[in-house]
Amino acid sequence: MLTLGGVAAAWPLAAAAQPSAKLPTIGFIGPSTAAADTTRRAALKQRLAELGWVEGRTMAIEYRWAEGSVPRAGEIAAEYVRQGVDVIVVSGDAQVRAVEKATSTIPIVIAAAADPVGNGLVQSLARPGGNATGLSRQLTDSTGKRLELLRDILPALKRVAILFNAANPLTIPELEKAEAAARTLGVETVRVEVRRTEDIQPAIDQLRDRADALYVCIDPFVNTNGVRINSLALAARLPTMHSSRDNVEAGGMISYGPDISDLFRRAGEFVDKILRGAKPGEIPVEQPIKFELVVNLKAARTLGLEIAPTLLARADEVVE
């Protein structure tokens, strides 16, 4: 006689043997665009496949993208609730909050969140409670390191502009942490608020000759407009610092932060546990174990900057 755990463990095989039965369905909500999420969803799918969940055979995945819009993430979540998906995978604190407002019953796997406890997404890391669990980016813990790296690259750094999405209050902890880290280094800061796409150009244009570098706070809206932000910063002669390699691939100069693809890969393990019967509120939130430093030498050369060989030797990837 099979125990409940035995039945759950055999679920993927049973689903494969009975293709006519409804497959367990995952609702994926990408924070920005399909193109931006390519490597992330590939990492998630790969880990799921390794655990026996093969798309189209033992499970199904629905894909939607919020394109930087928090309300859109909530609309997608409501759509998934109507469809009756078995688990929702989402990243970004504001998006997670929007999904939590849409459902208190469907399990939510947080692929990456800046501060899940501080922003009220879970009760605690050890025991999340509710219907959500997943992975923390420890974003504010690494903010100081990003400012130190900027100082290493720009020894004469006197003033750094900090760009953030003022429409998303969940970016404030990183903003304030960056300001505090800058003060510790004796560097002045200036806040640069954006709320809409049309705010970006005038916000960056007015920084010409008023700042030595641009620190960009992570946010789905900001990520969606990464190419625009970085090209305008380059035109304004501003080196940019980011927390995600996505933004270096979009033309930014340097990034330091958790390996996001690895977080999405590990999110597959949370999905696996939930589909096998675990309660999300009882699965501890995990923290990043891989951090990466990515340097865009092309952007640095365009700005006439020389990156020290010692820093390049520490980089996980150098973009020529």
What CATH number was assigned to the domain covering residues 4-138+260-289? 3.40.50.2300
pLDDT of residue 18: 42
- Rg of the chain over all Cα atoms, to the nearest angstrom: 21
pLDDT of residue 32: 85
pLDDT of residue 107: 98
Integer Cα distance of 193 and 18 in angstroms: 54
3-state secondary structure of 222: helix
Segments making up each domain of the chain, as ranges: 4-138+260-289, 140-258+292-319
Integer Cα distance of 220 and 197 in angstroms: 12
pLDDT of residue 223: 87
pLDDT of residue 22: 87
Judged by phi (left if over 0) then psi (alpha if -120 to 50, else beta), residue 163 lies in beta
pLDDT of residue 139: 83
Q: Which CATH number fits domain 140-258+292-319: 3.90.1150.10, 3.50.50.60, 3.40.50.2300, 3.40.50.720?
A: 3.40.50.2300
Cα pseudo-dihedral 272, 276, 280, 284, rounded to 10: -60
pLDDT of residue 246: 87
Residues of the chain with pLDDT under 70: 1-21
pLDDT of residue 136: 95
For the chain, give the mean pLDDT. 91
Count the neighbouring beta carbons within 10 Å of the beta carbon of residue 148: 14
DSSP one-letter string for 82-130? HHT-SEEEEESHHHHHHHHHH-SSS-EEEEEES-TTTTTSSS-SS---T
Identify the helix (H) or strand (E) that includes residue 196.
none
pLDDT of residue 21: 66
